Structure 1
Amino acid sequence: MTQLDARAEIVDALTRYTLAVDRGDWDLLDTVFTPDAAIDYSESGGIVGSIAEAKPWLAENLPAFSAKRLHMLGQIAVEFDSWPGDSAQVTAYFHNPMVISDGAGGERVVEVGGLYHHHFVRTSTGWRSNKLHEELVWSRGF
């Protein structure tokens, strides 16, 4: 595997993450994270725990934002700890507009933006994140 192949696998995993969250396909997260992954959503008021704890938390809390969720990733930095190696530090910019009820029968858009900081490891099933820290940089509309 070349570095370009590894980077492509990592970017594919990041894309699967956004699709899983936006679609509410929580089992798809199992193709993004290792079973022992640690998740930290504390900066946006969320859970700090294992992926096994984060999946039901997401399933319970994100429906408040309706099914109209749309993550977008920007710059993605991949820094391999060594090459060839089995781990990488990955940072991806994100912008996440979501639709919520306005309390008067209509809807309004709320947004968050920030950085996803991952630690990826090479596994027998490909590159997977074993740690995610969501760094909230800004929010609007809450």
Structure 2
Amino acid sequence: MDVQELIDRAEITDALTRYTLAVDDGDWDALDTVFAADATIDYSESGGTVGELAEVKKWLAEMLPAFSQKRLHTIGQVGITFADEGADASGFASAEVVAYFDNPMVISDGSGGERVVEVGGRYRHSFVRTPEGWRSRHLHEEVFWTRGF
């Protein structure tokens, strides 16, 4: 593994962290630093929407406030497979990324209290190198389990 590959891996991992922070904090515009402008996002396995970045940001802003601001995503193992195709002097041009996630959220229990609901699975991203850095062109949220719904 050369130095450029280590840098690329660090930049992609940083983008994954920016994603979880943006969703947890409700900072939808921060998603612009994670996704390419023409990205598609698929939350269908968790009952969510599928669409382009702008429409998904709007959907998140409308739907996630049902869960309190007590959201605390975590990302676990991250697997990155770079594609040699399209590579140039700056390094790899694209990468397939799989990241394990756990996403607990707090919601009202309907009687004045709160309860935790949780989703676990894998985020599957297709990243591309852009002039602004590594950006996801596609995210598919692959749900393995849910709890508390």
- Shorter-chain TM-score above 0.5: yes
Counterpart of 1:101 in structure 2 is 108
* Aligned-pair Cα RMSD in Å: 0.9
Residue equivalent to 1:112:
119
Structure 1 residue matching 2:69: 3-state secondary structure: coil
| TM-score after normalising by structure 1 | 0.98
Q: Distance in 2 between matches of 1:40 and 1:109?
A: 23
- For these two proteins, the number of residue pairs brought into alignment is 142
Give the whole-Å Cα distance in 2 for the aligned partners of 1:74 and 1:47: 24
What is the identity, as a one-letter code, of the residue corresponding to 2:75?
A: L
| Gap regions ≥5 residues in structure 2 | none
Partner secondary structure for residue 126 of structure 2: strand
- Which amino acid in the other structure matches residue 52 of structure 1? A
Aligned counterparts of 1:68 and 1:57: Cα–Cα separation in 2: 19
Give the drift of 1:81. Answer: 1.0
Query: Which contiguous aligned blocks of 4+ residues in structure 1 show a shift greater than 4 angstroms?
Result: none
Give TM-score scaled by structure 2 length: 0.94
State the one-letter code of the partner of 1:48: V
Distance 2:96 2:23 in 1: 21
- Give the share of equivalent positions with the same residue, in percent: 69
SS of aligned partner of 2:140: strand
Aligned to 1:55: 57
Residue 130 of structure 2 is aligned to residue 128 of structure 1: no
Shift of residue 85, structure 1, vs aligned partner:
2.1
